[in-house]
């Protein structure tokens, strides 16, 4: 895999990466928020534990019983660290590769620490999460091999390209490019009318270009980038100041200056 160096890059859940990280790790997180695969690693207790709703309640329950609490999980390191921070260092972790949700029902664990997305599976098994029992918020991350990035310029170049595309795409998600035709005396007059409206400023301002027509009239093409939730207000404002022929298209990428995560990566590699 990526950690061993047989692969230069990979996409994994932050939960898996965090569970297996250690000092001097050869794995580097290039982008920590790819925007999919979101879930939480969280503690969940049986619904019949009516007096346990928080970590403090769980600590109290442990103090009231002679046996150690048994926690079934696929993430022993993250779970043990989290429990210790909340005063529960003397628990028994049960490493399980099967379906964790059934563990309390069949009696080989008291509670579980597992990935939770919608919570449906927990409810189906009469479990519920603790109010402050989230161990880690997870989603897909882009990872790379540290040695490959440090020693092979072509791998670092690919990392930069990947980060360029990823950040530009995430920046553009939910954005639309809006085109319209407007009649006016000059680009400055059109710009003044647009900038007087709350939703017609675009990223840095509207782009305004003359339209070549057979008629002896001054027409201009205007375009701006807007967010999805601003789309209908934008169209209404364009119409109000004389815009027509409005065309809307999704934006795939918005490239800005050098990706900040690439700059962070260079700093990380220099410090290693």
Q: Where are the domains of the chain?
A: 9-36+140-172+256-271, 39-138, 175-250
Please list, in sequence order, all residues whose beta carbon lies within 8 angstroms of the beta carbon of residue 3, skipping any fewer than 6 positions away.
Answer: 20, 25, 26, 27, 145
Same fold, 39-138 and 175-250: no
Structure token digits, residue 173? 């998600």
Domain 175-250 annotated CATH 3.40.630.10: no
Residue 145: its H or E element: strand 140-145
Q: What is the CA 27 to chain-centroid distance, rounded? A: 20
Phi-psi domain of 106 (left: phi exceeds 0; alpha: psi -120 through 50; beta: other):
alpha
Residue 207: its H or E element: strand 207-211
Q: Please give the CATH topology (third level) of the domain spanning 39-138.
A: D-Maltodextrin-Binding Protein; domain 2 (3.40.190)
Instruction: For residue 64, count CB atoms less than 10 angstroms from its CB and return exposed for 0-12, middle for 13-18, buried for 19 or more.
Output: exposed
How do the pLDDT tens digits run along the chain, 272 residues long? Answer: 899 999 999 999 999 999 998 766 799 999 999 999 999 999 999 999 999 999 999 999 999 989 999 999 999 999 999 999 999 989 999 988 788 999 999 999 999 999 999 999 999 999 999 999 999 999 999 999 999 999 999 999 999 999 999 999 999 999 999 999 999 889 999 999 999 999 999 999 999 999 988 776 789 999 999 999 999 999 999 999 999 999 999 999 999 888 899 999 999 999 86
pTM of the model: 0.86
């Amino acid at each position: 895999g990526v950690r061993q160096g047989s692969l230069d890059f990979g996409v994994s859940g932050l939960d898996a990466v965090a569970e297996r990280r250690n000092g001097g790790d050869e794995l580097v997180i290039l982008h920590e928020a790819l925007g999919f695969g979101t879930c939480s690693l969280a503690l969940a207790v049986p619904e019949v534990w009516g007096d346990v709703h928080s970590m403090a309640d769980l600590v109290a329950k442990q103090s009231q019983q002679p046996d150690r609490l048994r926690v079934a999980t696929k993430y022993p390191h993250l779970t043990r660290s989290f429990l210790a921070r909340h005063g529960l260092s003397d628990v028994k972790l049960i490493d399980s590769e099967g379906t964790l949700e059934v563990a309390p029902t069949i009696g080989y664990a008291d509670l579980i620490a597992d990935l939770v997305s919608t919570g449906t599976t927990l409810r189906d098994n009469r479990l519920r999460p603790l109010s402050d029992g989230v161990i880690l918020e997870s989603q897909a991350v882009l990872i790379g091999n540290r040695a490959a990035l440090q020693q092979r310029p072509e791998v670092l170049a690919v990392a930069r390209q990947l980060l360029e595309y990823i950040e530009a795409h995430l920046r553009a998600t939910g954005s639309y490019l809006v085109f319209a035709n407007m009649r006016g005396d000059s680009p400055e007059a059109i710009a003044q009318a647009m900038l007087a409206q709350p939703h017609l400023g675009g990223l840095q301002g509207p782009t305004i270009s003359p339209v070549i027509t057979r008629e002896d009239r001054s027409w201009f093409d205007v375009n701006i980038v807007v967010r999805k939730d601003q789309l209908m207000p934008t169209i209404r404002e364009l119409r109000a100041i004389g815009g027509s022929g409005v065309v809307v298209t999704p934006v795939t990428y918005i490239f800005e200056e050098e990706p900040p995560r690439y700059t962070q990566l260079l700093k990380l590699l220099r410090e290693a």
